[in-house]
Amino acid sequence: MGSSFDHPRRLRRLTVVGGLAAALALGTVSAAIGGVPAQGSSGAGLTAAATSALLKDYDHEIIDQFDSANSVNHIRQLAVNIGPRLNGTPQEREGAEYIGGILKSYGFDVTLQSWGPVSTKNVAKVTSPNADLPGGPNWQMAASTSAKFTGNDAAVEGQVVYAKTGQSAADFPADTAGKIVLMDYSTTASVRNTAVINAASQGAVAVILAYATGNNAPPSFTLTTAQPNIPVMGGGSAHSTWIKSLLDKGPLTLRVTTNQYVNPMGTNVIGIRHAVGDPDGTKAPIVMVGAHIDSVLGAPGAHDDASGNGVSLEIARVLSQYPLDKELRIGGFGGEEGGLLGARAYVNTLTAAEKARFVGEWQMDMVGTPYEPARLWALTPNGQSNYVVQEAYNAGARVGFDGLRNCRLGQSDHQAFFDVGIPSSLFIWLDYRPPAPPAVCGPTGGTYVTEPQYHKPTDTMDNISPERLQVTLDVVGGAVAHNALNAVTVSAVSDGDQPLAGAPVRADCGNGLRDLGTTGADGRLQAVLPHATCDFTTTVDGRVANERGVSIAGDQAVKMTVDLTKPTISLTRPTDGAVFELGTAATASYRCDDNLAGVATCVGTVPDGSALDTSTVGFHEFTVNATDKAGNATDKKVTYQVVYPWKAYFPETMNGKANSAVPIKFGLGGNRGLGVIAAGYPVSQPVSCDTGKATGASEPTSGPGNSKLSYEDGQYSYVWKTDKSWSGTCRTFELTLNDGSSHFTTISLK
């Protein structure tokens, strides 16, 4: 973050991207990480594992591939192998070349942009041929303009001696001549001048004035007395501590070069991965990720901001495996520490049409410190949430991270994009203090406390938390990935066009069936997919709907109609309640219709056109089951009755005498045995002689004088003994047979 200015997850260990030599020229690193799949191929590089389990949706699949170990490796390359990357110095450009080389290996078109000029830089580079320098092999100090600039071809090398404040000859060891002298930096110019004069008189070949205490960056200073024959440098307090610690262990040799870069050019690196259908980059929406390359004088810039580049490159690695219909840009900007110089220079190259294509710019600056009070913030110049911020919140929700907060701050490269109307936000791990209520972030903003290593030589790999880098990848990388993919609205409706909530949506885009989730109350599901041809499917109440061969080539909608209309059954014979005489020839007649697709599968108790069962008397159930092509099933059940061929040999009404025997004779078309009467029958019941309505309860006829059933000469006979007390009344006799039929006669008794 410019000087103008927790939720740790598990660490995943995947294949770690190996570091490339910092000086590797663009165009020579294409094979460093392995092949990049062709953009036009569906699902390139995404071979499904041999498993019966559903693949995850693309959001979670991509997040699972992010590995902060790869980010750490890139940070190490920038902060350790290259070291401090002051704007306008060769190290800034070397950082841009490294980032560009990695991006090119991922299939990006890479451009190095020179812009400027910028202010003159006076820089000392300090290395050691015989010691591992703490904080990295490449120290950077301030080169005094009052002293010698060695250039790269006339480096000074020598053992180091410590001469305290250098104010008297007694401060210098006897063998100072030919040595590099370390002395304590004084804020008083005359004290500094005396120290350097004394060192030169003792034969020193170079001088380092470094803060003895505190946590200070290297100071820049001039001398009253010029020293044209030796380089003089200002070192930070960490440099002083580290040198003294090494001297305690034995002799230390340092190698020093000092350079003055007069009005140098700054460097940006821009990687572009064009959309599948827009190879010229003229129409596809643009999703951009940014970080700044440069660091302040003397600082390795591991956290500020090699960390942002490390995350950007890991996002690029994972997304490079997917064919995209959005244009993905990765930006590394120089000169951020000098006032957002590189980002503003880049934004000034954008045409109005190009700006209008931007979905958003996610800027990462200081995204992985272990400093405990720091938390992940999304900060905008006006303090308001915007699309980029909200998408980060959404990504956090997908991975279960609720630690993101947003408020107000410029001071990083997101400001340049914001100023031209592109949605942008700074993502940063920072001890940020929002305004106390009722104040809000928009008008007032908050305050912040930086980590102790901020803009210091101690901003080394020790200032990097892989766990927090992983959170940043999951939240910011997850948001970028979500927006780089196609937004697809999948809807599930019934054949009556009613939305179907809770419908599981699956898709196979060429590498296996994956679970996209379930539809909401409106019957819709929002999913993201790469450029691919996909088969969609859903199942509702056992009914399956498919949309096959859907070409996903941009944001779009997919609709699946689930056939929930059951087939229709027309049952002509038997009808419900139909009665057939025993042994009657009758055939079943029915058909089943699929209301959408024609004839449905139709299965009855007997096949259509086959004989009904009339071989036994009683009630018979007949069922037809229908199933259509969508799996909808229904059935229809009816009951028909098979009865004996009944013939009554008694009238429906008759006259008789009380206390007499009344013969009830009937025929059943032959001898059916003597068990034809249903249990509990016959019965008789008093009725009104005028209306025929019952006047009392039914009574069994099993009393004295009632004969058992007999059969003779083709007739059944039952003798009903009437009671003496029934004289002058009317009574109904009911005979119910075991075929379920009932037969009646009414008798008027004298």
Q: Say which CATH number the domain at 580 has.
A: 2.60.40.10
Strand partners, 175: none
Whether residues 451 and 558 share a domain: the answer is no
pLDDT in tens, 235-287: 999 999 999 999 999 999 999 999 999 999 999 999 999 999 999 999 999 99
From 514, 537, 562, give the residue that closes a domain. Answer: 562
Q: What is the DSSP letter of 81?
A: I
Domain boundary among 261, 290, 317: 261
pLDDT higher than 80, residue 22: no
Residue 171 has pLDDT above 80, yes or no: yes
- CATH (domain of 552): 2.60.40.1120
Of 258, 253, 69, 66, nearest in space to 153 by CA: 258
pLDDT at 190 over 60: yes
Cα diameter, the chain: 161
Lowest mean per-residue pLDDT among 47-61, 264-278, 425-439, 676-690: 47-61
According to DSSP, the β-strands at 618-627 and 633-643 are antiparallel
The whole-angstrom separation of Cα 65 and Cα 320 is 12
Bridging pattern class, strands 232-235 and 253-261? unpaired
Question: Is 714 within 8 Å of 670 (Cβ atoms)?
Answer: yes
Burial class (CB in 10 A: 0-12, 13-18, 19+), 591: middle
pLDDT score of 596: 67
Q: Of 206, 228, 261, which closes a domain?
A: 261
Are 343 and 463 part of one and the same domain? yes
Size (the chain), residues: 750
Query: Residue 305 pLDDT more than 70?
Result: yes
The pLDDT assigned to 367 comes to 98
Q: How far apart are CA 514 and CA 83, in angstroms?
A: 44
pLDDT of residue 50: 36
Measure the CA–CA gap between 398 and 57, rounded to whole angstroms.
Answer: 11
**At residue 658, does pLDDT exceed 50?**
yes
Residues 589 and 682 in one domain: no
Distance CA 230, CA 215 (A): 27
Q: Is 578 exposed, middle or buried (0-12, 13-18, 19+ CB in 10 A)?
A: middle
pLDDT surpassing 50 at residue 505: yes
What total of structural domains would you count in the chain?
5
- Choose between 198 and 601: higher pLDDT: 198
Judge whether 686 lies within some domain. yes
Q: What is d(CA 736, CA 366) in angstroms, rounded to the nearest whole number?
A: 96
What domain range includes position 530?
A: 486-562
Residue 68 has pLDDT above 50, yes or no: yes
- In this prediction, residue 617 carries a pLDDT of 96
pLDDT bucket at 495, cuts 50 / 70 / 90: confident
pLDDT digits (tens, 9 = 90+) for 367-412: 999 999 999 999 999 999 999 999 999 999 999 999 999 999 999 9
**Residue 329 and residue 346 in contact, taking contact as beta carbons nearer than 8 Å:** no
User: In angstroms, what CA-CA distances link 208 with 18, 444, 629, 728?
Assistant: 35, 44, 87, 143
C-alpha–C-alpha distance, residues 728 and 57, integer Å: 90
pLDDT at 597: 63
- Predicted local distance difference test score (pLDDT) of residue 707: 87
Residue 608 and residue 532 in one domain: no
Domain identity same for 300 and 348: yes
For residue 46, tell me if it sits in a domain: no
Q: What is the CATH number of the domain that holds 183?
A: 3.50.30.30
Query: Is 56:277 a contact under the CB 8 Å cutoff?
Result: no
| 3-class SS of residue 300 | coil
Centre a 10 Å sphere on the Cβ of residue 589 and count the other Cβ atoms it contains.
Answer: 16
Distance CA 20, CA 29 (A): 8
Q: In this structure, which amino acid lies at residue 543?
A: R
Q: Is the pLDDT of residue 422 over 70?
A: yes
On whether residue 498 sits in a domain, the answer given is yes
**In a domain? residue 332:** yes
Q: Give the C-alpha separation, 337 to 88, whole Å.
A: 11
Query: How high does pLDDT run on average in the chain?
Result: 92
Question: What percent of the chain clears pLDDT 90, i.e. is strictly above it?
Answer: 87
**Residues 643-657: what's their mean pLDDT?**
94
Q: Count other C-beta atoms under 10 Å from residue 486's C-beta.
A: 19
Tens of pLDDT, residue by residue over 462-484, are 999 999 999 999 999 999 999 99
- 521 lies in the same domain as 666: no
C-alpha–C-alpha distance, residues 726 and 439, integer Å: 103
Q: What tokens appear for 77 in the block?
A: 């390359």
Phi/psi of residue 59, each to 5°? -55, -50
In this structure, the number of other CB atoms found within 10 A of the CB of residue 621 comes to 10
**Separation of CA 583 from chain center:** 70
In a domain, 283, yes or no: yes
Mean pLDDT (whole number) for 128-152: 97
> Mean pLDDT, to the nearest integer, of 21-49?
32
In this predicted structure, the answer to whether residue 35 has a pLDDT above a threshold of 80 is no
Q: Same structural domain for residues 362 and 423?
A: yes
Q: How many CA atoms lie within 13 A of 458 on its CB side?
A: 16
Beta-carbon-side half-sphere exposure of residue 438 (alpha carbons within 13 Å) = 0
> What's residue 1's pLDDT?
76
Q: In which band, very low, low, confident or very high, does the pLDDT at 632 lie, cut at 50, 70 and 90?
A: confident
Q: Which of 285, 261, 300, 310 is nearest to 122 (CA)?
A: 261
More confident residue, 518 or 26: 518
pLDDT band at 5 (very low <50, low <70, confident <90, very high): very low
Contact partners, residue 421, CB within 8 Å, separation at least 6: 355
Helices vs. strands in the chain: H and E counts, helices first = 13, 39
Q: Report how far residue 211's alpha carbon sits from residue 204's, in angstroms, rounded to the nearest whole number.
A: 19
Residue 147 lies in a domain: yes
49 inside domain: no
Q: What mean pLDDT do residues 29-47 have?
A: 31
For residue 496 the two structure tokens come to 């009556």
Task: Give burial (CB, 10 Å; 0-12/13-18/19+) of 573.
Answer: middle
The pLDDT of residue 719:
94
Give which of 373, 348, 378, 382 is closest to 363, Cα–Cα. 378
- H or E element in which residue 227 lies: none
What proportion of the chain, given as a percentage, has pLDDT over 70? 93
Confidence check: pLDDT of 577 > 50: yes
Which backbone phi and psi does 424 adopt, to 5 degrees?
A: -155, 165
Interacting residues of 627 by C-beta distance below 8 A, sequence separation 6+: 567, 600, 601, 633
Q: Is residue 140 part of a domain?
A: yes
Task: Give dist(CA 206, CA 144) in Å, integer.
Answer: 11
Question: Do both 350 and 379 map to the same domain?
Answer: yes
Which of the two residues, 326 and 17, has the higher pLDDT score?
A: 326
pLDDT higher than threshold 80 for residue 641: yes
In this structure, what token pair is assigned to residue 468? Answer: 């927090």
Rounded Cα distance between 511 and 53, Å, is: 13
Distance between CA 465 and CA 444 in Å, rounded?
31
Of all helices (H) and strands (E), which one includes residue 272?
A: strand 266-273
Nearest to 371 by CA among 285, 443, 467, 492: 467
Q: What is the pLDDT of residue 543?
A: 85
437 and 529, same domain (yes or no): no
Q: Are residues 709 and 582 in the same domain?
A: no
pLDDT for residue 60 is more than 60: yes
Question: For residue range 88-115, what is the model confidence (pLDDT) as tens digits?
Answer: 999 999 999 999 999 999 999 999 999 9
* Residue 348, token pair as written in the block: 């000034």
- CA 94 vs CA 98, 128, 477, 747: distances in Å: 6, 20, 25, 122
Specify whether 358 is located in the same domain as 411. Answer: yes
pLDDT of 325 strictly over 50: yes
**Domain identity same for 301 and 384:** yes
Query: What is the residue whose two structure tokens read 């018979």?
Result: 620
Is pLDDT of 334 > 90?
A: yes
Phi/psi at 138 (5° precision) = -120, 95
* pLDDT above 60: residue 26: no
Amino acid code (one letter) for 721: K
Question: How many C-beta neighbours within 10 Å does residue 475 have?
Answer: 29
Residue 689 has pLDDT above 50, yes or no: yes
| Stretch (H or E) spanning 519 | none
φ, ψ at 302 (rounded to 5°):
-60, -50
CATH of the domain at 415: 3.40.630.10
